[in-house]
Chains A and B, each alone.
Chain A
Amino acid sequence: MTILEATNPVDTAETAAKDTIKMKEADLNEAATESDHKTVGDCFVENPKFSVRDANVYYGDKQAVFDVSLDIGENEVIAMIGPSGCGKSTFLRCLNRMNDTIDICRVEGKIELDGMDIYDSRLDVVPLRARVGMVFQKPNPFPKSIYDNVAYGPKIHGLVSRRVDLDEIVETSLRRAGLWDEVKDRLNQPGTGLSGGQQQRLCIARTIAVSPEVILMDEPCSALDPIATARIEELIAELSENFTICIVTHSMQQAARVSKRTAYFHMGKLMEVNETQKVFTNPDHELTEAYITGRFG
């Protein structure tokens, strides 16, 4: 819990007030809109799982993400924080091409997964999405039974041929999502009948049932109460042993608790990437500092 203590917002705010010259809101905005910006911190890692170079995303004429370059390491948990509308969710959705579902969305730049360009025109998104799973902000279980929700992915990918194997995948996935004990007696009841936190864990179980390599999480706890949130955070810590996890969150405490590295986005630009502990105690960028001390956002 050292990280948690160190990043108590009140503490940080006090240090910030003592040590730095206070910037006015206008100055901050000016700094943010500088056209020629450079991401500070360590964007790159050895042997990255994902490597993103100069990614630009447009919704029609409006640009949402500007020149983002970032590496995501194998089996690391990286948190993306930043004020609303800063492009962090858009960026996350680029990583498994979920933005394809939006007609007017256009992605430029290079995004590679294990050295494979995922925006190659010859690439099929179906296997890509099987490798890069996603958990959404609002729990979205299918209107099917709990069992069928988890079995859906393995079924469509033909991962199993026998019923017993499928049963086993369902059980393992539910166990790893920490849901098994709560639902093992009612696997045939609709997944939509579970509570919000259970639904979200069901969605996580559904995602890990296809054994992805990366799990993208888009504010997975924002619709949940604190207890359910704590369960999911524990789960992320356990899952990080086997999966690479990118999590977008609005809660700085959550980012501090679950992630190894943190990326700070501001108005579509990636401002800073650093070890989480550093971001929350001694950030390199003035905007990051302004954000984590609560001066805007």
Chain B
Amino acid sequence: MSSTLLLALMFVGFITIYKLGRSRSLALATNVGGARYLNSLPFYYGMITVLWAAIPALILLGLWYAFDDAVIQAIVVQHLPAEIREAGNTEIGLVLNKVRLIIDNQFLGEPPEYMTVAAAEINKLTTLSSNLLAALIFLLMSVSASVGYFRIHPQMKARLFVENWFKLALLICSMIAIFTTLGIVLSVLLESIKFFRSVPITEFLFGLEWSPQNAMRADQVVGSSSFGAIPLFAGTLLIAFISMLIAVPVGLMSAIYLADYAPTKVRSTVKPLLEILAGIPTVVYGFFAALTVAPMIRDLAIGMGLDNYMTVTSESALAVGLIMGVMIVPFVSSLSDDVINAVPQSLRDGALALGATKSEVVKQVVIPAALPGIVGGFLLAVSRAIGETMIVVMAAGLAANLTANPLDAVTTVTVQIVTLLTGDQEFDSPKTLAAFALGLMLFVVTLALNYIALHVVKKYREQYE
């Protein structure tokens, strides 16, 4: 029995069990004077019966799926020829891979006899396993559902029981994100530790030069490689800074206009238009930055004669920063607009009634009251700017220059992570592992930024209500 069919049947089973439980509670209720004398609504008696049936069945299902492959494999390995079993785990693994190819009909040529036998055995065992599972599940479901069914009585606190289980489900959902983050951190951390075994952490943190080199083949001669992350973080911060320079004032002011000045008509047209900007894929922004804005900036800079004083390239941090800023504007404006709108009208009225002008109201009452939310929006915008990769790849280049010149080519942490991990190379070379160290650093930096900003907000917030 396929697992889809099994799940579908289980679902049908649950519905039936729900109906049975519900009607049993109603039947019992007639003896005590009607449904109003039940402890809970009939719905909860149905649900409690389903929970009784579902929880053991789902646990069994989970355990079975977790272990059945391993068990089947162990059985098959027992039946392999002795010389393969004694040849060690690597050899067994290779054979098993070939057997799987046979099962998928992708094996090229004529497989040896013992492999065909193993493949047939796997097929047989898999079918057996799924049938056995189905039988066990339905047996378990009927047993536990009957227990639940006969436990129903009018005084049973079904609602409490069901609600506690739902609470647990909600808790699990909220934990998923946390545990996933934890898992990501751990995996990045472990790889980073491997990296720091070959490159000293001080060199990584304080080194001023970034040029990861790696031998593709053992006999290849490469230049010395250096893993100083400073140029990357400098480039990231430069680009993020330029983009925030655009996004924060423009976004905040458009939010203020939309929330406090714009007539309803303008607001209802402009706001959706702004939000459309947020839906444009970053690749498209990248094209625009690389093909239109960057050359324009270069020509402008050369026209002004700036190339006599500093490097002017056609891939510039300025172009990327500008376009990224524009990309983030709707983000900032939409979030700020929401929090500005949430400031109660009564506060505005209070200031207006004292003879404050509209701009005084906005600057001195509305913005301070909305500040925590606005800063929250900025933070999200900063993390977007730091995390943005595509525009930078396309328009700022890959050269890790340590410079504060916005007309020069720079690169960012995320871009380097991408370039380090793409291409065909060993996965345990320092060059590849450096990507994880960069990821870890990025994680720590953004975490620190968030932490600092939260504290700043807490200190300066003006709380209304």
User: Chain A: residues with CB nearer than 8 A to chain B?
Assistant: 96, 98, 101, 103, 126-130, 133-134, 136, 138, 140-144, 152-153, 156-157, 190, 192, 203, 206-207, 210
Q: Are the CB atoms of B355 and A126 closer together than 8 Å?
A: yes
The stretch that binds A, out of B240-248, B341-349, B437-445, is B341-349
Would A157 and B355 count as touching, CB distance under 8 A?
Answer: yes
Known A192-B463, A192-B464; contact A142-B353, beta-carbon cutoff 8 A: no
Question: Could you say which of A141, A143, A206 contacts B368, with CB atoms under 8 Å apart?
Answer: A143
Contact A206 B344 (CB under 8 A): no
- Residues from chain B with a CB closer than 8 A to the CB of A206 are 350, 354
Indicate if the CB atoms of B353 and A133 lie closer than 8 Å: yes
From B116-124, B154-162, B279-287, B356-364, the one touching the partner chain is B356-364
Q: 1/0 per residue B321-362: CB within 8 Å of A? A: 000000000000000000000001111111111111100100
- Judge whether B354 and A136 touch: CB under 8 Å: no
B465 lies within 8 A of chain A by Cβ: yes
Contact of A140 among B264, B346, B462 (CB under 8 A): B346
A-B CB proximity, top 8 nearest? A130-B355, A143-B462, A134-B353, A129-B355, A140-B346, A153-B354, A140-B350, A143-B464
Residue picked from B263, B346, B353, B355, most chain A C-beta under 10 Å: B353
Q: How far is the CA of A284 from the CA of B350 in the complex (A)?
A: 37
Do the beta carbons of B349 and A101 come within 8 Å of each other?
A: yes
- Please name 21 pairs of A and B residues whose Cβ atoms are closer than 8 Å in the assembled complex, sorted by A: A98-B349, A103-B263, A103-B264, A126-B357, A127-B355, A128-B355, A129-B353, A130-B354, A130-B355, A133-B354, A136-B346, A140-B344, A142-B365, A143-B464, A144-B462, A152-B356, A153-B354, A156-B354, A156-B360, A156-B364, A192-B463
CA of A96 to CA of B349, assembled, Å = 11
Residue of A at shortest CB range from B371? A143
Interface of B is mostly: helix
Chain A residues with CB under 8 Å of B239's CB are none
B50 within 8 A of A: no
Residues of A within 8 A of B345 (CB): 101
Answer whether residue B369 sits at the interface, using C-beta atoms and an 8 A cutoff.
yes
A sample of 9 more A-B contacts (CB under 8 A), given A129-B354, A130-B355, is A101-B352, A134-B349, A136-B350, A140-B347, A143-B463, A152-B356, A192-B464, A207-B353, A207-B354
What residues on B are CB-neighbors of A192 within 8 Å? 463-465
Question: B353 — which chain A residues lie within 8 A by C-beta?
Answer: 96, 98, 129, 133-134, 136, 207
Contact of A153 with B355 at beta-carbon distance under 8 Å, contacts A142-B350, A143-B462 already known:
yes
User: In the complex, what residue of chain B is closest to A155 when comparing beta carbons?
Assistant: B364
**Cβ of A190 and Cβ of B344 under 8 Å apart?**
no
Are the C-beta atoms of B368 and A144 separated by less than 8 Å? yes
Q: State in angstroms the CA–CA spacing of A223 and B264 once bound together.
A: 31
Which chain B positions have C-beta within 8 A of A138? Answer: 346
Interface centre among B345, B352, B368, B369 (most CB of A within 10 A): B352
Q: Is the CB of B350 within 8 A of A156?
A: no
Q: Which of B308-332 contact A (CB under 8 A)?
A: none
Task: List residues of B (264-304) whose CB comes within 8 Å of A's CBs.
Answer: 264
Nearest-neighbor residue (CB-CB) of A133 within chain B: B353
Mark each residue of chain B from 430 to 465: 1 if its CB lies under 8 Å from any CB of chain A, else 0.
Answer: 000000000000000000000000000000001111
How many whole Å from A39's CB to the nearest CB in chain B? 27
CB distance from B26 to the nearest CB of A (A): 47
